[in-house]
Chains A and B, each alone.
Chain A
Amino acid sequence: MNKVSVYGKGLTKSYGKTEALKSVSFSVEKGEIFGFIGPDGAGKTTLFRLLTTLLLPDSGAASIEGLDVVKDYRRLRQILGYMPGRFSLYQDLSVEENLRFFAGIFKVSISDNYHLIADIYEQIAPFAKRRAGKLSGGMKQKLALSCALIHKPEVLILDEPTTGVDAVSRREFWEMLIRLKQSGITILVATPYMDEAILCDRVALIQHGTIMATGSPADIIQTYPHKLFRIKSQNTLQLLRIMRQMPELKSAEMFGEYIHIGSSPNKMNESDIAAFLNQNNIRQFDLEPMEAGIEDCFMHLMKQQSST
């Protein structure tokens, strides 16, 4: 097993009466991409603010590269690269000026670590003189990433880096992260997009301030207990209403134009479902078995969480 880079144990944080984090524990190995996957309000940002020394935990402890987030915050801030959820660069400064400023406050020169950001920065270099506020969403993220990397951090913490960014830029962004990983940087990334989970080495599914499951995406999918079908018809809502009345069913969730239905293995097959639909006067539909994805696991775990 690799060396542990980031480690949290029993992290708890409340804002007044709202418990944002309830005893969260996890560990991230050196050099891996670790994703915290969960919807808005799950506690991802609070967790990252604890790790980046911006907030103090009510209880529990965390360390990064052996440095305690409370006691050693000053040394820790030297080795962290942090990209907050909101675009946090100076909109009235140009691309170049932003980069120079962030190099300056970390007391490095741009040329020292340029190799680290070269392939990211080159994409925005043609706009070096443009004000950061006038960049597109994707370019802003590239600039923010460049600024977070310019001091060669050992751990990179990215809070929803791809929120509000178009699909192409999102994919490019992840390709950059995977390249960065090769230079040995540990990367923690929070995202509400389930499809990004698969790109992480390991993920933690987080909801209502607790981690529901941790593991590699494949491991998590393995734990999904049901047999899964997906089904589509002209009237999705009507289909969902009818499917939920089927007695043997374990779950029926809407995923875009499809409905994913889960049953206990070997309890139900395609012809059973077709027969049930025919009984309910739905004759036109596409039905096929499928493999579970992270989102199915998430929905399943979420239901389990709320029923206990």
Chain B
Amino acid sequence: MKRFVIKEFLHIFRDIRSMVILFGMPIAQVLLFGFAITNEVKDVRISVIDQSNDQHSLALTQKLYASGYFIDGEDIPSVTLIEEGFRKGVTKMVVVIGPGFASKLATGEKPPVQLIADASDPNTASLITTYASGIISDYSRGLMPGKGLPVISAEPRMLYNPSLKSVYMFVPGIITILLMLVSAMMTSISIAREKELGTMEVLLVSPLKPVEIVAGKVMPYVVLSFINAVTILVLSYFVFDMPVNGSVLLLLAESVLFILLALSLGILISTISNSQQTAMMLSMFALMLPTILLSGFIFPIENMPDVLQWISLIMPPRWFIVIVKSIMLKGTGIAFFWKETLILVAMTVVFLAASVKKFNIRLA
């Protein structure tokens, strides 16, 4: 057993490819998701067509640019040229202020302001129009306090992520994806490699029990995946100020549980694939895509069609993401997610039992 584990470590450390996947990827992913892939609105280029050119329309324009969400895109002189602007990609939204803005404001008429957005990127379009109309109504309210109809203003407060940082959403997702990837894919590949290179034949004709082979394969990856999880947490804490409001110890314990689950899935995959290629494709399609798409990491589960919601119930990452978010953001303890934890434990037991049972004691 000891020899087996030593051998596995040697395999990993001597293969540059697996070293890169193991240690390069977590860092690259955290930084990528944290910096580049963000759905916050910042410095979006917009254009203003001001047909009034009076004191108020200028002030409103100023206010838009001062918000920090928008910067001045290319000047679009006429309404007829808006589409061309979108097509050239010089602006994302055009604010058209109709003629007589100030006078209509003064008489209490509805001032004509139109927002035209490039919705080829729907998320951004809906976000920036929301922000812009917020600024505009804010401006008009500021002009006539107490005037007109009583305005109901609800003041939203975003709990657990007050500034709506997307990093808060991505970090739990990345931890999940990476643990899944490293644990499941790497083990399934490393077992499939023994089959492909014929060394499995020799291992089988030895007194090693399937449990011993599986345990020997899995142990190094438990350790390495754990180091990975810690790396991601440390990185997100120092680079993105991602807090861990709950117990770090609990978070790590839950991570180990999830690592074990992912590893048992990896072994299961390797029992049905005979080459490294198959093992990799299977891990990719069977694990990675569902992890990203069906776990609630990017797309909210509540908005999915019923069928997909049911499928998401059997996705281990779905439950783990809930746990990670609870601990990191809400700071809650095990009492609030013992059900999720229990589900993960049950899944691990089932997968481990299945993979040890399915692990062939013979060839073919």
Contacts and interface: CB of A to CB of B under 8 A. Distances in A.
Contact of A105 (B4, B10, B11, B361): B4
Given A49-B363, A100-B3, A101-B3, A89 B199 contact: yes
A104 interface: yes
Interface stretch (A53-61, A223-231, A274-282): A53-61
Given A90-B7, A93-B7, A105 B15 contact: no
A107 interface: yes
Contacts of B362: 53-56
Given A53-B362, A78-B207, A105 B199 contact: no
Interface stretch (A79-87, A163-171, A290-298): A79-87
A54 B11 contact: no
Contacts of B207: 74, 77-78, 105-107
B198 interface: yes
Contact of B197 (A54, A56, A91): A91
A92 B205 contact: no
Contact of A84 (B7, B198, B361, B364): B198
Interface string A95-111: 00100111111110000
Given A53-B362, A55-B363, A73-B361, A90 B206 contact: no
A97 B202 contact: no
Nearest to A85: B198
B34 to A, nearest CB: 35
A88 interface: yes
Interface string B1-35: 01110110011001100000000000000000000
A52 interface: yes
B207 to A, nearest CB: 5
Contact of A97 (B10, B15, B363): B10
A104 to B, nearest CB: 3
Nearest to B15: A92
Contacts of A92: 10-11, 14-15
B10 A52 contact: no
A91 B362 CA distance: 23
Contacts of A84: 198, 201-202
Nearest to A73: B361
8 contacts: A54-B201, A55-B364, A86-B197, A90-B7, A93-B10, A102-B202, A104-B2, A104-B3
